[in-house]
Structure 1
Amino acid sequence: MKRVVAQGTFDLLHPGHLHYLETAKSMGGELHVIIARSENVTHKEKPVISDRQRRDMVAALDPVDEARLGHIGDFFVPIRDIDPDIIVLGHDQHHDEETLAAMLEEEGIDCAVARASAREPEYDGEVLSTGRIIDRVCDRRC
């Protein structure tokens, strides 16, 4: 059975997150999800929801076999623990597949890297971005 890793912040879950995880699960039989710790999120705004709550919410989703928090100091610690066959990136994640593959090889971790497809909105007004959800809440409630 192939082990698949998906990773991300998963702040304010939305249908785009579910699409990503369903796509990742379809690439293997066992899906492990690594949730970024708030203190490690440097490429965008810090999450609104706590680390533990984000992990618990992701763990409750059907495609997910295991969800865990990332390591504070070393991105590769949970990857080594899981020993995946493939790491699947979200369609809009800032990681570059070739760079990640080279880093994995340098660390002696033998796994493929793939990228999930985007999910298009299925109806007018469907929101598929945490940032857009926050903007909408602020527009309507602030």
Structure 2
Amino acid sequence: MTHVIAQGTFDILHPGHAHYLRDAAAMGDRLSVIVARGENVTHKDPPILSNRQRRDMVAALEMVDHALVGHREDIFVPIEELDPDVIALGYDQHHDEEAIEGELASRGVDCDVRRASPRDAHEDELLSTGDIIDRICDDRC
């Protein structure tokens, strides 16, 4: 059985998230998703929704077998504990694949790191939480 891990912030779920997780699920037989702790999100604005709410929404998706909130200090701890065969990165996530592979190797975690495929937006479709928030502010504020 091939165990795949996907990870992300997953604030305000949108079709891009669903595409990423479907792609990740197709890479194996079991999909676990690590939802980033809000306090650990430093590369963009912090999430609007709580850690638990984002985890619960991801866990409710059909393609997800298991969802958990990430570790407080070390993002690699859940990966070590779950011992995946594959880590699926979103096609546009900011992660450096070589750096991840190096850190995994230094911790004795033997798995492949792959990128999910891109998804083109359909007409008037938003595939970014930031874009969704901007649209809400423009239309409702």
Percent of pairs identical after alignment?
A: 62
TM-score between the two structures when normalised by the length of structure 2 = 0.98
- Alpha-carbon separation, structure 1, partners of 2:22 and 2:93: 16
In structure 2, what residue type is equivalent to 1:107?
A: R
SS of the residue 2:19 aligns to: helix
SS of the residue 2:34 aligns to: strand
Q: How does 1:57-136 map to 2 (within 5 A)?
A: 57-122=57-122, 124-136=123-135
Structure 1 residues not aligned, in runs of 5+? none
In structure 1, what residue type is equivalent to 2:131?
A: R
- Alpha-carbon separation, structure 1, partners of 2:7 and 2:50: 16
Aligned to 1:139: 138
The Cα of 1:80 is off from its aligned counterpart by 1.2
In structure 2, what residue type is equivalent to 1:133?
A: I
1:13-61 C-alpha deviation (Å, 9 max, x unpaired): 0000000000000000000000000010010000000000000000000
In structure 1, what residue type is equivalent to 2:22?
A: E
- Alpha-carbon separation, structure 1, partners of 2:44 and 2:126: 18
CA RMSD, 1 decimal: 0.6
The Cα of 1:118 is off from its aligned counterpart by 1.2
Aligned to 2:3: 3
- Whether 1:55 aligns to 2:49 is no
In structure 2, what residue type is equivalent to 1:140?
A: D
What stretches of structure 1 move > 6 A for 4+ residues in a row?
Answer: none
- Alpha-carbon separation, structure 1, partners of 2:132 and 2:75: 28
The Cα of 1:92 is off from its aligned counterpart by 1.1
In structure 2, what residue type is equivalent to 1:61?
A: L
In structure 2, what residue type is equivalent to 1:79?
A: I
- Alpha-carbon separation, structure 2, partners of 1:86 and 1:102: 15
- Alpha-carbon separation, structure 1, partners of 2:99 and 2:40: 19
- Alpha-carbon separation, structure 2, partners of 1:87 and 1:127: 25
1:76-99 C-alpha deviation (Å, 9 max, x unpaired): 111011100000000111101111
Aligned to 2:24: 24
TM-score between the two structures when normalised by the length of structure 1 = 0.98
